[in-house]
Amino acid sequence: MTADSSFVRALSERIDGDVAADGATLAAYSTDASNHRLVPTCVAFPRSVADVAALVSACRDEGMPVTSRGGGTNLAGNAIGSGVVVDYSRYLNRIHNIDPDVRRAVVEPGVVLDALQASAAAYGLRFGPDPATHSACTIGGMVGTNACGARAIAWGTTSANVTAVDLVLSDGRTTSLGAGPYPRL
Ligand SMILES: Cc1cc2nc3c(=O)[nH]c(=O)nc-3n(C[C@H](O)[C@H](O)[C@H](O)COP(=O)(O)OP(=O)(O)OC[C@H]3O[C@@H](n4cnc5c(N)ncnc54)[C@H](O)[C@@H]3O)c2cc1C
């Protein structure tokens, strides 16, 4: 067993979510919407924030790079990496609530923009920035790229529309950044 395959096995035992290292998955995740290609060691699909924290800790212990991925629609190779590619869109894709009074949604990072727009439309609301990839890009990826789109001139880029974020730090600890006592995940 190679060092990589024993790492993959240990990681899959440490998190509830899926860990894949088969050829088809590695090939699919070796590219994004850029011209770059880099084959990862494995791809992880966390089910919870606790999974993400455990995963980051495991990677830190082994010196394994971590690359976050949403829809993989960025144009600069940002969502590919040689270590563990973490896809949030499979499980961490829930909209927890939308509060029309304060015009705020609490979402997980893997929510696809169109799904948020459809839910917000029920309250006569929308998320302002609208990249052309709205049917595939995720809120996490939009934060990662500070996505804009044609209407961002009117409604601001993603950073202007995010009030708070929950973060997993490089040592696996979690923290929250932002203004106000908003509901957290
Ligand atoms: C045809 C085309 C048209 C486009 N049009 C536009 C446009 O009009 N406006 C625009 O702004 N962009 C546009 N883009 C770029 C891209 O679609 C956007 O930047 C989009 O927001 C990326 O979202 P994603 O979920 O695909 O992110 P990904 O490509 O998966 O990731 C983008 C970055 O975010 C990071 N990331 C992802 N999830 C997380 C997470 N949970 N935590 C921390 N970091 C994370 C990744 O590591 C990476 O660095 C376009 C791209 C294409 C191919």
* Annotated domain spans of the chain: 3-87, 95-178
SS3 73: coil
Closest atom of ligand 1 to CA, residue 112: 25
Among 106, 158, 162, 159, CA closest to 134:
158
DSSP-derived 3-state class of residue 27 = helix
The CATH number corresponding to 95-178 among 3.30.465.10, 3.90.78.10, 2.40.30.20, 2.40.50.100 equals 3.30.465.10
Q: What is the distance between the alpha carbons of residues 40 and 11, in angstroms, rounded to a whole number?
A: 14
Cα–ligand 1 centroid distance for 1 (angstroms): 36
Best substitution site from 29, 34, 55, 69 to test ligand 1's pocket, by max atoms within 8 Å of Cβ?
A: 69
Residue identifier of the C-alpha nearest atom 5 of ligand 1: 132
Is residue 41 in contact with ligand 1, taking CB distance under 6 Å? Answer: no
35 pLDDT above the threshold of 90: yes
Over pLDDT 70: what percentage of the chain?
Answer: 96
Q: What is the pLDDT of residues 95-132, one digit of tens each?
A: 999 999 999 999 999 999 999 999 999 999 999 999 99
Q: Give the tokens for residue 82.
A: 């040689």
Tell which one of 78, 133, 165 to mutate to probe ligand 1, the residue whose CB is within 8 A of the most ligand atoms. Answer: 133
Q: What is the pLDDT of residue 178?
A: 87
What fold, for 3-87?
Answer: 3.30.43
Q: What is the chain's alpha carbon radius of gyration, rounded to the nearest angstrom?
A: 17
How high is the pLDDT of residue 165?
94
**What is the pLDDT, as a whole number, of residue 4?**
86
CA 172 to centroid of ligand 1, rounded, Å: 24
The token pair at 16 is 């509830």
Can you give the pLDDT at residue 182? 58
What is this structure's pTM? 0.95
The length of the chain, given as a count of residues: 185
Q: Is the pLDDT of residue 53 over 90?
A: yes
133 lines ligand 1 (CB under 6 A): yes
pLDDT of 183 > 60? The answer is no
Average pLDDT over residues 154-182: 88
The confidence score (pLDDT) of residue 21 equals 97
User: What ranges in the chain are assigned the alpha helix state H?
Assistant: 3-14, 23-28, 49-62, 113-121, 139-145, 152-155
Average the pLDDT over 41-53 and give the result: 97
Cβ of 93 less than 6 Å from ligand 1: no
Whether residue 144 has its Cβ less than 6 Å from ligand 1: yes
Summarised one tens digit per residue, pLDDT across range 8-17 is 999 999 999 9
Three-state DSSP class for residue 168: strand
* Beta strands, E only, 76-144: 84-87, 95-99, 104-107
Q: What is the mean pLDDT of residues 34-57?
A: 97
pLDDT of 151 reads: 84
